[in-house]
Amino acid sequence: MLLSAQCTDKKVNEVTPALFAAGPTPSAMAALTEAEIYEHIRQLGLAKTKARNVHKLAHLLITVHGGKVPSSFEELEALPGVGHKTASVVMAQAFGVPAFPVDTHIHRLAQRWGLSNGDSVERTEKDLKSLFPPKSWNKLHLQIIFYGREHCTARGCDGTVCPMCRELYPKRRQPVIWRRP
Protein backbone atom coordinates (compact mmCIF):
# COMPACT_ATOMS: atom_id res chain seq x y z
CA MET A 1 0.00 0.00 0.00
CA LEU A 2 2.80 2.39 0.89
CA LEU A 3 4.26 1.87 -2.57
CA SER A 4 1.09 2.10 -4.65
CA ALA A 5 0.83 5.87 -5.24
CA GLN A 6 1.41 6.90 -8.85
CA CYS A 7 1.81 3.35 -10.16
CA THR A 8 -0.15 0.20 -10.82
CA ASP A 9 -0.74 -2.63 -8.39
CA LYS A 10 0.81 -4.92 -11.00
CA LYS A 11 4.11 -2.99 -10.93
CA VAL A 12 4.16 -2.91 -7.11
CA ASN A 13 3.58 -6.68 -7.06
CA GLU A 14 6.54 -7.14 -9.41
CA VAL A 15 9.05 -5.31 -7.19
CA THR A 16 7.93 -6.20 -3.67
CA PRO A 17 9.07 -9.85 -3.54
CA ALA A 18 12.74 -8.81 -3.82
CA LEU A 19 12.25 -5.91 -1.40
CA PHE A 20 10.63 -8.15 1.22
CA ALA A 21 13.27 -10.83 0.68
CA ALA A 22 15.89 -8.20 1.54
CA GLY A 23 13.88 -6.81 4.47
CA PRO A 24 11.37 -9.40 5.70
CA THR A 25 10.92 -7.84 9.16
CA PRO A 26 10.83 -4.25 10.41
CA SER A 27 14.33 -4.72 11.87
CA ALA A 28 15.71 -6.12 8.62
CA MET A 29 14.06 -3.35 6.60
CA ALA A 30 15.41 -0.69 8.96
CA ALA A 31 18.89 -2.16 8.54
CA LEU A 32 18.73 -1.44 4.81
CA THR A 33 19.81 1.98 3.63
CA GLU A 34 17.45 4.24 1.74
CA ALA A 35 19.64 3.65 -1.32
CA GLU A 36 19.24 -0.12 -1.00
CA ILE A 37 15.47 0.20 -0.66
CA TYR A 38 15.45 2.57 -3.64
CA GLU A 39 17.30 0.03 -5.79
CA HIS A 40 14.50 -2.47 -5.16
CA ILE A 41 11.70 -0.01 -5.97
CA ARG A 42 13.30 2.39 -8.48
CA GLN A 43 10.83 1.29 -11.19
CA LEU A 44 7.95 2.77 -9.19
CA GLY A 45 6.80 6.34 -9.46
CA LEU A 46 8.07 8.60 -6.64
CA ALA A 47 10.64 5.92 -5.75
CA LYS A 48 13.00 8.22 -3.81
CA THR A 49 10.22 9.49 -1.56
CA LYS A 50 8.85 5.99 -1.13
CA ALA A 51 12.29 4.62 -0.20
CA ARG A 52 12.67 7.36 2.42
CA ASN A 53 9.18 6.63 3.81
CA VAL A 54 9.75 2.85 3.95
CA HIS A 55 13.03 3.40 5.79
CA LYS A 56 11.48 5.83 8.30
CA LEU A 57 8.44 3.62 8.76
CA ALA A 58 10.59 0.59 9.56
CA HIS A 59 12.50 2.59 12.19
CA LEU A 60 9.26 3.90 13.74
CA LEU A 61 7.76 0.42 13.88
CA ILE A 62 10.76 -0.67 15.94
CA THR A 63 11.31 2.38 18.13
CA VAL A 64 7.74 3.52 18.74
CA HIS A 65 5.58 0.44 18.18
CA GLY A 66 7.78 -2.40 19.43
CA GLY A 67 8.14 -3.94 15.98
CA LYS A 68 4.37 -4.30 15.55
CA VAL A 69 2.00 -2.66 13.10
CA PRO A 70 -0.19 -0.23 15.06
CA SER A 71 -3.87 -1.08 15.25
CA SER A 72 -5.57 2.32 15.16
CA PHE A 73 -6.33 4.69 12.33
CA GLU A 74 -4.60 7.54 14.15
CA GLU A 75 -1.35 5.65 14.73
CA LEU A 76 -1.29 4.28 11.19
CA GLU A 77 -1.96 7.65 9.57
CA ALA A 78 0.88 9.16 11.62
CA LEU A 79 3.38 6.85 9.89
CA PRO A 80 5.34 8.24 6.93
CA GLY A 81 3.67 7.59 3.59
CA VAL A 82 0.50 6.18 5.16
CA GLY A 83 -2.71 7.97 4.29
CA HIS A 84 -6.31 7.26 5.12
CA LYS A 85 -6.78 4.70 2.31
CA THR A 86 -3.73 2.68 3.37
CA ALA A 87 -4.76 2.87 7.02
CA SER A 88 -8.24 1.68 6.05
CA VAL A 89 -6.86 -1.29 4.14
CA VAL A 90 -4.64 -2.29 7.08
CA MET A 91 -7.47 -1.90 9.59
CA ALA A 92 -9.86 -3.94 7.41
CA GLN A 93 -7.52 -6.68 6.24
CA ALA A 94 -5.12 -7.08 9.16
CA PHE A 95 -7.39 -6.28 12.09
CA GLY A 96 -10.91 -6.97 10.79
CA VAL A 97 -12.13 -3.48 11.70
CA PRO A 98 -14.95 -2.33 9.40
CA ALA A 99 -13.48 0.14 6.90
CA PHE A 100 -14.25 1.07 3.32
CA PRO A 101 -10.96 1.94 1.62
CA VAL A 102 -11.63 4.01 -1.47
CA ASP A 103 -8.99 3.92 -4.17
CA THR A 104 -9.24 5.26 -7.70
CA HIS A 105 -10.99 2.08 -8.89
CA ILE A 106 -13.75 2.27 -6.29
CA HIS A 107 -14.06 6.04 -6.68
CA ARG A 108 -14.52 5.71 -10.47
CA LEU A 109 -16.97 2.81 -10.23
CA ALA A 110 -19.08 4.38 -7.48
CA GLN A 111 -19.46 7.45 -9.67
CA ARG A 112 -20.13 5.39 -12.82
CA TRP A 113 -22.78 3.31 -11.05
CA GLY A 114 -24.50 6.31 -9.46
CA LEU A 115 -23.51 5.39 -5.89
CA SER A 116 -21.69 8.68 -5.29
CA ASN A 117 -21.37 12.03 -7.01
CA GLY A 118 -17.61 11.53 -7.33
CA ASP A 119 -16.60 14.94 -5.96
CA SER A 120 -13.78 13.39 -3.92
CA VAL A 121 -12.64 10.06 -2.54
CA GLU A 122 -13.66 11.30 0.91
CA ARG A 123 -17.20 11.94 -0.34
CA THR A 124 -17.29 8.57 -2.09
CA GLU A 125 -16.21 6.81 1.11
CA LYS A 126 -18.92 8.61 3.09
CA ASP A 127 -21.57 7.81 0.46
CA LEU A 128 -20.64 4.12 0.28
CA LYS A 129 -20.58 3.78 4.06
CA SER A 130 -24.08 5.25 4.20
CA LEU A 131 -25.37 2.80 1.56
CA PHE A 132 -23.98 -0.45 2.94
CA PRO A 133 -23.88 -1.94 6.47
CA PRO A 134 -20.49 -1.88 8.24
CA LYS A 135 -20.29 -5.69 8.36
CA SER A 136 -20.10 -5.73 4.53
CA TRP A 137 -17.45 -3.01 4.03
CA ASN A 138 -14.29 -5.11 4.31
CA LYS A 139 -15.40 -7.65 1.73
CA LEU A 140 -17.34 -5.28 -0.51
CA HIS A 141 -14.46 -2.92 -1.21
CA LEU A 142 -12.40 -5.86 -2.49
CA GLN A 143 -15.30 -7.16 -4.56
CA ILE A 144 -15.70 -3.77 -6.23
CA ILE A 145 -11.98 -3.55 -7.00
CA PHE A 146 -11.84 -7.05 -8.48
CA TYR A 147 -15.05 -6.53 -10.45
CA GLY A 148 -13.70 -3.27 -11.86
CA ARG A 149 -10.41 -4.85 -12.91
CA GLU A 150 -12.18 -7.73 -14.62
CA HIS A 151 -15.33 -6.17 -16.12
CA CYS A 152 -15.51 -2.39 -15.79
CA THR A 153 -12.07 -0.99 -16.49
CA ALA A 154 -11.33 2.72 -16.70
CA ARG A 155 -10.99 2.78 -20.49
CA GLY A 156 -12.66 -0.50 -21.39
CA CYS A 157 -16.26 0.13 -20.38
CA ASP A 158 -18.45 2.32 -22.55
CA GLY A 159 -21.69 1.32 -20.86
CA THR A 160 -22.11 -1.75 -23.06
CA VAL A 161 -19.19 -3.95 -21.95
CA CYS A 162 -19.67 -4.38 -18.21
CA PRO A 163 -22.70 -6.42 -17.07
CA MET A 164 -23.34 -3.95 -14.22
CA CYS A 165 -23.39 -0.94 -16.55
CA ARG A 166 -25.58 -2.80 -19.08
CA GLU A 167 -28.05 -3.56 -16.28
CA LEU A 168 -28.00 -0.02 -14.86
CA TYR A 169 -28.07 1.76 -18.20
CA PRO A 170 -29.76 -0.55 -20.73
CA LYS A 171 -30.64 2.23 -23.21
CA ARG A 172 -27.41 4.19 -23.00
CA ARG A 173 -23.95 3.62 -24.34
CA GLN A 174 -22.40 5.73 -21.56
CA PRO A 175 -23.40 5.64 -17.87
CA VAL A 176 -24.87 8.82 -16.49
CA ILE A 177 -22.69 10.65 -13.98
CA TRP A 178 -24.59 11.45 -10.82
CA ARG A 179 -24.37 15.14 -9.96
CA ARG A 180 -25.43 16.88 -6.80
CA PRO A 181 -28.74 18.78 -7.21
DSSP secondary structure string, 114-156?
TSS--S-HHHHHHHHHHHS-HHHHHHHHHHHHHHHHHTS-TTT
Q: Is the pTM of this model over 0.85?
A: no
What CATH number should be reported for the domain whose range is 9-95? 1.10.340.30
Domain ranges of the chain: 9-95, 104-168
User: How do the pLDDT tens digits run along the chain, 181 residues long?
Assistant: 688 877 888 899 999 999 999 999 999 999 999 999 999 999 999 999 999 999 999 999 999 999 999 999 999 999 999 999 999 999 999 999 999 999 888 998 998 888 998 789 999 999 999 999 999 999 999 999 999 888 888 777 776 778 888 787 765 555 445 554 4
Amino acid at 122: E
Q: Comparing 9-95 with 104-168, is the CATH topology the same?
A: no
103, 126, 139, 158: the catalytic one is 103
Alpha-carbon gap, residue 38 to 19, rounded angstroms = 9
103 is catalytic: yes
Among residues 140, 104, 152, 149, the alpha carbon closest in space to that of 10 is found at 149
9 is catalytic: no
Q: Does domain 104-168 have CATH number 3.40.50.10860?
A: no
How many CB atoms are closer than 10 A to CB 89?
20
48, 85, 126, 135: the catalytic one is 85
